């Protein structure tokens, strides 16, 4: 069901400082800042060859990242995102298997403008999983 790793997300207390560190110290290409009020975060994406690193900072006190940073003040890995080709089918299959989809279970639009869902970390060995729907790279002819 899952495809490649789309990105690994790291929660940070200061997005601009973290982005500068990736750009200036590691020599990475870093995207512009995006505000995603529906997810309660500000993000940048760091290009890392075959995947991306998403740096996220809370957008307001009710952001889920605020609680994460309260437990991890220096920041840390927040979630891993896998690609799927049919998110509705993936949600249905996961629900049938007993996995919990967070929120109301319906996909929302994520930072890449594509449908996403998050899966409860207790169902996946303590790791928050994001699924992002992408179009298949190769269509059958």
Residues taking part in catalysis: 130
Q: Where are the beta strands (DSSP E) in the chain?
A: 5-11, 34-36, 41-48, 51-58, 76-84, 108-109, 115-119, 128-133
C-alpha pair distances (Å), 63 with each of 45, 120, 139: 19, 17, 38
Q: Tell me the two tokens of residue 18.
A: 């973290």
Cβ 72 vs Cβ 61: under 8 Å: no
Bridge partners of 35, per DSSP, are 42
SS3 1: coil
């Amino acid at each position: 069901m899952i495809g490649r790793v789309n990105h690994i997300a790291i929660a940070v207390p200061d997005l601009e400082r973290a982005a500068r560190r990736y750009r200036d110290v590691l020599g990475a290409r870093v995207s512009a800042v995006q505000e995603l009020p529906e997810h309660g975060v500000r993000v940048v994406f760091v290009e890392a060859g075959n995947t991306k690193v998403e740096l996220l900072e809370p957008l307001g006190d009710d952001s889920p990242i605020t609680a994460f940073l309260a437990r991890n003040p220096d920041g840390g890995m927040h979630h891993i995102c896998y690609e799927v080709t049919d998110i509705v089918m993936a949600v249905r299959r996961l629900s049938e298997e007993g996995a919990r989809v967070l929120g109301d279970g319906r996909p929302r639009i994520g930072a890449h403008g594509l449908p996403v869902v998050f899966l409860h970390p207790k169902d996946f060995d303590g790791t928050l999983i994001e699924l992002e729907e992408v179009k298949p790279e190769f269509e059958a002819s």
